[in-house]
């Protein structure tokens, strides 16, 4: 009964380092999303996937890459971290219809120094 | 213009009071509407969906006005546990959600 699990929960990176955030869901949801949340900005969509093997750009995709090799996992990569990527990252998933809203993971707090 | 705009508040109300706030959305083709609740440093959680005819869930009432493109949330008999940020969320016809920046509500004893 895990729902959506994000790892890691916290991370501090130095500028230029790379890392991968993992999102795993056990609800057999088709659609998965990565959002970032900054103070006063609301959640902004980075990338999303409508099924295994598919990815698409959201509102703020620059500096990020994603992969969905397995239906249950959605990975978000930062190739060369920048201080502007300091944020809280949330993963979410929904069944294909999406009429009942999304289920969110508990978030990853990333600081880039 | 942001797709979803909300009054950030904060709304500071005593226990037992009624508090209401709105949000507006820009995409007239939006399909579904939700209110999410977010507690400090936690993930957003679905509070309720918003239906065209309006709907209630206990002390919470949501209204949708498609003609004017706004959504409202009313909380009756406020509890201390209602203190949170309330996110107005709109889904387009592409299954992507757009979030407002949130309305902060603080209920005081």
Q: How far apart are CA B80 and CA B107, in angstroms?
A: 5
Divide the 113 residues of chain A into consecutive groups of 10 and give the mean pLDDT of each group.
Answer: 90 97 95 92 91 94 97 97 97 78 93 97
Q: Which residues of A touch B (CB under 8 A)?
A: 31, 33, 35, 40-45, 48, 50, 58, 88, 90, 92, 94, 98-102, 104-107
pLDDT bin (cut points 50, 70, 90) of residue B88 is very high
Contacts of B90 (CB under 8 A, 6+ apart): B3, B4, B25, B27, B30, B32, B33, B34, B71, B97, B98
- Find the range with the poorest average confidence among B5-9, B21-25, B56-60: B5-9
Span B91-98, average pLDDT: 79
Q: Is the pLDDT of residue B48 over 80?
A: yes
Residues of A in contact with B32 (CB under 8 A): 98-99
How many CB pairs below 8 Å do chains A and B form together? 53
Q: What is the least distance, in Å, from the CA of A22 to any CA of chain B?
A: 16
């Amino acid at each position: 009964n895990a729902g959506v699990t994000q790892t890691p929960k916290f991370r501090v990176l130095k500028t230029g380092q790379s890392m991968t955030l993992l999102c795993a869901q056990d609800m057999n949801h088709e659609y998965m999303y990565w959002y970032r949340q900054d103070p006063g900005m609301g959640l902004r969509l980075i990338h999303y996937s409508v099924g295994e093997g598919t990815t698409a750009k959201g509102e703020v995709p620059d500096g990020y890459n994603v992969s969905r090799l397995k239906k249950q996992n959605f990975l978000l990569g930062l190739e060369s971290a920048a201080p502007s990527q300091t944020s809280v990252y949330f993963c979410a998933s929904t069944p294909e219809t999406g009429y009942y809203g999304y289920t969110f993971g508990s978030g990853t707090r990333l600081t880039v120094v | 213009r942001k797709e979803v705009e909300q009054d950030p508040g904060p709304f500071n109300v005593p226990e037992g009071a009624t508090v209401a706030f709105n949000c507006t959305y820009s995409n007239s083709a939006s399909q579904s509407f939700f209110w999410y609740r977010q507690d400090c440093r936690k993930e957003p959680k679905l509070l309720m969906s918003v239906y065209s005819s309006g709907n209630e869930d206990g002390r919470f009432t949501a209204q949708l006005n498609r003609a004017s493109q706004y959504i409202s949330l009313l909380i009756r008999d406020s509890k201390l546990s209602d203190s949170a940020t309330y996110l107005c969320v709109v889904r387009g016809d592409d299954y992507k959600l757009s979030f407002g920046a949130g309305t902060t509500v603080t209920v005081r004893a």
